[in-house]
A and B are shown apart, each in its own frame.
Chain A
Amino acid sequence: MGDDEARLQEPRSRPGQFAMLLAKPSQHLVRRPMSILDEGDGWRSYMVKPVGPATRELVATRVGDPLEASEPLGNGFPLPEELGPGPLLLVGGGFGIAPLHFLARRLDAMRHPPKYSILYGGRTARDVEREVLDDVLGPVLPSTDDGTLGFHGTCVDLCVREVERMEQRTASAVVLTCGPHAMMRALFDAVQDRVPTIHVSLEEIMACGVGVCMGCVAHTREGYVPICTHGPVFAAGEIFGFEHQLSHGESAHE
């Protein structure tokens, strides 16, 4: 989808940032947060999962259609220059692949990119849109729970295998992940002992995208913080290292 307002927006966005989007016109009230899939001169693209009527409206738009779109929001992943020599493991579950695609494109554009691989998991081959990654230079390792494409197992299992293969190089390894919450938590649990740096990109229902409505919070050591302004990317330990102390559904009321 084209974003004709993007032309006016400087500076360019960081991988891991998102925009608030709604079709124009729309039957809906609040814009929906979408990770940026890629951007170029005068355009920005998104990968939208049709989960409800507002996202179906977005999916039905065509290149050049007008959109209600905010500027790029949130912190994004650490900059490629900040990630060190790698190796980097970019682990995407389902539509969580979108910001990792953008990150890989930025890594490819570096003069001396760190070594990275993309691990892209889905339940079945139909959930893995392999062609999304066709323009990425680094290796792509798909996984499916049912074995219909690539590695037979979850992308968490695949990531564990890749970490084991790295042996001593895990000292400088970085895992960057976006996907279902439970997947990212399982990934953190599985590799946190061996991988020193893990960043997760969180998803939550948002209304404003700029820290006003306090609707999209993550529970961290500091209490509830808005994902839109403090994230969506967090050090994984900040989220999962703490969440384990809470039973499900427990309120953090004073």
Chain B
Amino acid sequence: MSEYPIRIGPVEFKNPWFAASGCFGYGLEYKEHIPPSELGAVVTKTVTPLPRAGNPVPRLQETASGLLNSIGLQNVGLEAYLRDKLPPLVEAGGVPFVSISAASLDEYARMAERLTEFPEVVAVEVNLGCPNVDAGGDRDAAEARAVEHFTRTVKERLPDRAVAIKLTPNVTDMVPLARGAEQGGADAIVAINTLGGMDIDLERARPTFARERAGLSGPAIFPVALLKVWEITGAVRIPVVAVGGIASEREVLKFFMAGATAVQLGTVLFSKPTLLREVRSGVRRFLDARGLTHPHELRIARARETADEGPSQEGGKAWVPTR
């Protein structure tokens, strides 16, 4: 269904509905609810060069309108992913947007080189924002030059793939990180990863999670994600894929108005794996009622442009409410 095609770098996607990394498994776990072929792309569970065991339990804690997690990138590792998980997703008509994480530039280089042998991997999301690991986590990518180097290392090896850089919001300002990714040749920015958070077990009088720090997702983080997306779309020329706190078509519409090119559904899928259908029909109704034909027409004009950059993108046609 190429309802609202979008382009990220060299790749065209049939629609802007993506599943967020970590929330859709390797793409087939929810196939009875949502066949992966209905999504523009499936951003897979992050894979690392070697298998990762992940963190001890507890790994989850619900908060007010949010979910804290400390999974720690448990995954099968790149080779087992390519051998066991990628083929069935492709077979099922899913578009693999493979999320990768590594602890060093060398490791990123090797992962990217290995992926050149798999042309079916049309897109790669570089996860520079995980708060739940030591090496290669958000603290190693909280600075623009580091982001630029990681980005260039992957992109120069995968010039014909869409390379998106997923950034951490756990910094004072995400805009320099986004510019670093753009400088490094990124085809898109993905914003935001989970917000750093923690919980304390009252009975045991100690931090709930073994690593103390965890990542917050869910509706609680939507306003933060919207602001970050708004700031980034005002500062870079490459597409921004918005993720964080989508619970209905309303958040999706707001992300499009803030300038996002595509959206990722995340935590909401755990309790509503079929939300995609509601989002899709809700967005269509909203567009149809206003005589619009594509979500990118929702992008709103800015009264205040960011201080040191001009208007960010030619696609920023103002949408004036009709009533």
Where the two chains meet, the residues of A that have a C-beta atom closer than 8 Å to any C-beta of B are 20, 22, 28-31, 54, 68, 204-208, 210-217, 219, 223-224, 249-254
Task: List the one stretch of B7-15, B53-61, B114-122, B187-195 in contact with chain A.
Answer: B53-61
**Which of A54, A204, A212, A217 has the largest count of B CB atoms less than 10 A from its CB?**
A212
Instruction: Assess the B54–A217 pair: CB atoms within 8 A.
Output: yes
Q: Is the interface of B mostly helix, strand, loop or mixed?
A: loop
Is B183 at the interface (CB under 8 A from chain A)? no
Known: A212-B23, A254-B51. A30 touches B270 (CB 8 A): yes
Instruction: Assess the B62–A30 pair: CB atoms within 8 A.
Output: yes
Extra inter-chain contacts (14) besides given A205-B57, A212-B23, A251-B210, CB under 8 Å: A29-B65, A205-B60, A207-B271, A208-B269, A212-B29, A213-B22, A213-B23, A215-B59, A217-B59, A249-B210, A252-B53, A252-B54, A253-B55, A254-B51
Q: Which residues of A contact B25 (CB under 8 A)?
A: 211-212
Closest to B66 in A: A29
Is B81 at the interface (CB under 8 A from chain A)? no
**Which of A28, A31, A208, A252 has the largest count of B CB atoms less than 10 A from its CB?**
A208
Instruction: Assess the A216–B53 pair: CB atoms within 8 A.
Output: no
Q: Which residues of A contact B51 (CB under 8 A)?
A: 254
Q: Which residues of A contact B24 (CB under 8 A)?
A: 212
Is B259 at the interface (CB under 8 A from chain A)? no
Q: CA–CA, A54 to B71, complex, Å?
A: 22
What per-residue 1/0 map shows which CB atoms of B214-226 lie under 8 Å from chain A? 0000110000000
Closest to A28 in B: B62
Across the interface, B71 reaches (CB within 8 A) one of A204, A214, A219, A253, namely A214
Q: CA–CA, A31 to B69, complex, Å?
A: 15
Is B52 at the interface (CB under 8 A from chain A)? yes
Instruction: Assess the B271–A29 pair: CB atoms within 8 A.
Output: yes
Q: Distance in Å from the Cβ of A11 to the closest Cβ of chain B?
A: 15
Q: CA–CA, A210 to B33, complex, Å?
A: 12
A-B contact pairs, 11 of them (CB 8 A): A30-B270, A54-B62, A205-B57, A205-B58, A205-B61, A207-B270, A213-B23, A216-B57, A249-B56, A254-B50, A254-B52
Is B168 at the interface (CB under 8 A from chain A)? no
Instruction: Assess the A217–B74 pair: CB atoms within 8 A.
Output: yes
Q: CA–CA, A216 to B55, complex, Å?
A: 11
Q: CA–CA, A31 to B270, complex, Å?
A: 8
Q: CA–CA, A54 to B45, complex, Å?
A: 28
Q: CA–CA, A223 to B51, complex, Å?
A: 11
Q: Distance in Å from the Cβ of B127 to the closest Cβ of chain A?
A: 15
Q: CA–CA, A205 to B59, complex, Å?
A: 8
Closest to A22 in B: B271
Is B72 at the interface (CB under 8 A from chain A)? yes
Closest to A70 in B: B271
Where the two chains meet, the residues of B that have a C-beta atom closer than 8 Å to any C-beta of A are 22-25, 29-30, 45, 50-62, 65-67, 69, 71-72, 74, 210, 218-219, 267, 269-271
Q: Distance in Å from the Cβ of A211 to the closest Cβ of chain B?
A: 6
Q: Distance in Å from the Cβ of A112 to the closest Cβ of chain B?
A: 36
Across the interface, B270 reaches (CB within 8 A) one of A212, A219, A223, namely A212
Q: Distance in Å from the Cβ of A208 to the closest Cβ of chain B?
A: 4
Q: Which residues of B contact A205 (CB under 8 A)?
A: 57-61
Q: Which residues of A contact B23 (CB under 8 A)?
A: 212-213
Q: Which residues of B contact A216 (CB under 8 A)?
A: 57, 59-60
Q: CA–CA, A29 to B23, complex, Å?
A: 14
Instruction: Assess the B74–A224 pair: CB atoms within 8 A.
Output: yes
Instruction: Assess the B59–A252 pair: CB atoms within 8 A.
Output: no
Q: CA–CA, A31 to B67, complex, Å?
A: 12
Q: Distance in Å from the Cβ of B179 to the closest Cβ of chain A?
A: 33
Closest to B54 in A: A224
Q: CA–CA, A206 to B57, complex, Å?
A: 11
Q: CA–CA, A214 to B75, complex, Å?
A: 9
Q: Which residues of B contact A20 (CB under 8 A)?
A: 271
Q: Which residues of A contact B29 (CB under 8 A)?
A: 210-212
Across the interface, A214 reaches (CB within 8 A) one of B61, B65, B74, namely B74
Across the interface, B57 reaches (CB within 8 A) one of A28, A210, A213, A217, namely A217
Instruction: Assess the B74–A213 pair: CB atoms within 8 A.
Output: no
Q: CA–CA, A54 to B61, complex, Å?
A: 12
**Which of A20, A28, A205 has the largest count of B CB atoms less than 10 A from its CB?**
A205
List the 6 closest pairs (A to B, CB-CB), nearest first: A215-B60, A212-B25, A208-B270, A207-B270, A252-B53, A205-B60
Known: A207-B60, A252-B53. A68 touches B74 (CB 8 A): no
Q: Which residues of B contact A208 (CB under 8 A)?
A: 269-270
Q: CA–CA, A205 to B54, complex, Å?
A: 16
Closest to B69 in A: A215
Q: Distance in Å from the Cβ of B222 to the closest Cβ of chain A?
A: 12
Q: Distance in Å from the Cβ of B217 to the closest Cβ of chain A?
A: 9
Closest to B71 in A: A214
Q: Which residues of B contact A223 (CB under 8 A)?
A: 53
Q: CA–CA, A54 to B64, complex, Å?
A: 11
**Which of A28, A30, A204 has the largest count of B CB atoms less than 10 A from its CB?**
A30
Across the interface, A213 reaches (CB within 8 A) one of B53, B56, B69, B218, namely B69
Q: CA–CA, A208 to B58, complex, Å?
A: 15
Q: Which residues of B contact A54 (CB under 8 A)?
A: 62
Q: Which residues of A contact B65 (CB under 8 A)?
A: 29
**Which of A20, A210, A249, A250 has the largest count of B CB atoms less than 10 A from its CB?**
A210
Q: CA–CA, A223 to B74, complex, Å?
A: 10
